[in-house]
Amino acid sequence: MAVEVKDLLEAGVHFGHLTRKWDPNMAPYVYMERNGIHIINLYKTAAKIDEAGAALAKIAASGRKILFVATKKQAKDIVAEKAGNINMPYITERWPGGMLTNFVTIRKAVKKMATIDRMKKDGTFNSLSKKERLQVDRQRAKLEKNLGSIADMTRLPAALFVVDIKREHIAIAEAQKLNIPIFAMVDTNSDPRQVDYVIPANDDASKSISKILSHVTEAIAGGLAERKADKDASKDDAPKAAKKSASKKKAVATDEEE
């Protein structure tokens, strides 16, 4: 769906922070000041959503994962729902330190969940004492809460999508260290230079967050659909190619016999 400036306006995407809290590096994206608040230029926001969407669709079409990060109250449920709908990993609880830079350790913790699940299936769990079962259950619940949403992420993500880069500064720092591209909603109180794909927007209001994420996840869904279509096409082409190859061999054999 095309990005309509009118829709962004209705969702309050244009409301920045108090002028005294601004980051001067956001100046190119500020339209004006009204009642001590910076107003974001929504024409620039719309263009940046398109730009980010095209890049994210490309990543999704290549079969790689995009990790969504948003631990603030207004964004958590929206991100969990929208990222979940397109089967992308997300972190909405606390950012686990070393999530990217120490990925091997994080994967071990995720595997621990699978081990506990296996114990429950094969009956090992029932042979534990009541106290041990309680401890294992607690551990499983804690792991699920913090890492359940990244259980399918078997390798480092190809990109990060962040809501509120000030709050998620640890995630930003880890991604920068590993040269993982960062896409983010950036409000007027943040430094856009930390982000590869800036979407200037109000990152505090749930309506604004929801509107931006709808556009972003729709673009990713488009990339995933493209990947599926390509896969289906190559499946259809495989028997044709085999048939063609067989008839070619047959023709060569006939020529040799003659």
Q: Which domain holds residue 125?
A: 101-154
* CA 225/CA 129 separation, integer angstroms: 49
Is there a single domain that holds both residue 140 and residue 49?
A: no
For tokens 């931006």, what's the residue? 212
pLDDT band at 242 (very low <50, low <70, confident <90, very high): low
Answer whether residue 245 is part of any domain.
no
246 falls within a domain? no
Claim to verify: residue 115 and residue 224 sit in the same structural domain: no
Residue 21: predicted pLDDT:
83
CA–CA gap between residue 69 and residue 91 (Å, rounded): 5
Q: How are the residues of the chain apportioned to helix, strand and coil, as percentages rounded to the nearest 5?
A: 60, 15, 25
pLDDT digits (tens, 9 = 90+) for 135-164: 999 999 999 998 889 988 999 999 999 999
> Do both 125 and 30 map to the same domain?
no
Residue 249 belongs to a domain: no
Encode pLDDT of 168-224 as tens digits.
999 999 999 999 999 999 999 999 999 999 999 999 999 999 999 999 999 999 999
Do 56 and 213 contact (CB within 8 A), yes or no? no
The CATH number of whichever domain residue 174 belongs to comes to 3.40.50.10490
For residues 80 and 172, state if they share a domain: yes
Q: Report whether 104 contacts 178 (CB < 8 A).
A: no
Among the candidates 121, 139, 154, a domain finishes at: 154
- CATH number for 127: 1.10.287
Inside any domain, residue 21: yes
What is the percent of the chain where pLDDT is above 90? 72
Q: Are residues 143 and 172 in the same domain?
A: no
Residue 11 DSSP one-character state: T
- pLDDT tens digit string along 78-127? 999 999 999 999 999 999 889 999 999 999 999 999 899 999 999 898 99
The model's confidence at residue 63, banded by pLDDT at 50, 70 and 90, is very high
In this predicted structure, what is the pLDDT of residue 238?
60
Question: Quick one: pLDDT at residue 18?
Answer: 86
Cα separations in angstroms, 124 against 116, 142, 187: 9, 20, 51
Whether residue 256 lies inside any domain: the answer is no
Bridge pairing between strands 182-186 and 197-200:
parallel
